[in-house]
Amino acid sequence: MRTPKVPLEKFELRRAELGEATLQTLAALGYARTSLREIAQNSAFSHGVLHYYFQDKTDLILCSVRQYKARCVTRYDAIVTEAQDAAALQQAFLATLGDTLRDEAMLHRLWYDLRAQAMFEAAFRADVAKIDKSLEKMVWNVVARLAALAGTQGPLPSPALAYAALDGVFQQALLRHLAGDRKAIATMQQETAALLRLLLPALAAAPAG
């Protein structure tokens, strides 16, 4: 009871804090342009501290990437739980996707950047794959619930296919949004709606309001 925090817990807290600064810097500059000095300047600490809490740059980036995951993965849980019918769920989903695109564009471009880096650097692969799997699960939560609410009878698409296709649409939208396209969000929502109708034909019968 002398020490308010277990040392190890405090250590992890600081790691998380620095991981967050890393995330912000990576999101702002991209992997290729992010240096440890820049990260430290976006934190309350000197750059020497980074090597006190992390083995090396890779360790730091992986830690911050895991933080990204925790932040993303529960984003759609609430709307899945709360939605009363298919139309409402779809609408909430599209709205939240739009919010994400608008508010977290920086963070999401980082994700696509890191996923691309994982194609080159084996060190990133395991973590990136785990996050991708989590995102797939998250998307599937929505799609499966949507299917249930819409009373889908026929076969469902595989979770992998649903995620890949929806992610493809999101990625294109992000690209256009970052290029300054004002209609990127609205277009993304329309295309996502169209894609959902293809994935779950039952939705087409009861279109979203």
Partner DNA sequence: CATGAATGAGCCTTCATTCAT
Partner DNA sequence: CATGAATGAAGGCTCATTCAT
- Collapse the DSSP code of 23 into the 3-class scheme (helix H, G, I; strand E, B; otherwise coil) and give the result: helix
Report the site for its own copies in 118-137 (rule: CB under 8 A). Answer: 118-121, 125, 128-129, 132
Task: Check: CB of residue 98 under 8 Å from CB of residue 190.
Answer: no
> What is the C-alpha to C-alpha distance for residues 198 and 204, in angstroms, rounded to an integer?
8
CA 46 to chain centre: 29
Q: How far is the CB of 168 from its own copies (least distance, A)?
A: 2
CB of 63 to DNA, least distance (A): 13
Distance CA 80, CA 48 (A): 44
For residue 38, what are the CA distances in angstroms to 48, 107, 160? 12, 17, 37
What is the phi/psi pair of residue 207, to 5°?
-60, 150
Kindly write out the interface string for residues 56-95 of this chain, putting x where it contacts DNA by CB under 7 A and - elsewhere: xxx-------------------------------------
Per DSSP, the chain holds a count of helices (H) and strands (E) of 11, 0
Stretch touching DNA by CB under 7 A, among 48-56, 74-82, 84-92, 152-160: 48-56
Backbone angles phi, psi at 150, to 5 degrees: -80, -5
Binding mask 25-64 for its own copies (x = CB under 8 A): ----xxxxx-------------------------------
* Residue 109 Cβ vs its own copies, minimum distance, rounded to whole Å: 4
Q: List residues binding its own copies (CB under 8 A).
A: 29-33, 109, 112-113, 115-121, 125, 128-129, 132, 157-158, 160-161, 163-169, 171-172, 174-175, 178-179, 187, 191, 194-195, 198-199
* Site residues (vs DNA, CB under 7 A): 4-7, 10-11, 14, 33-38, 44-53, 56-58
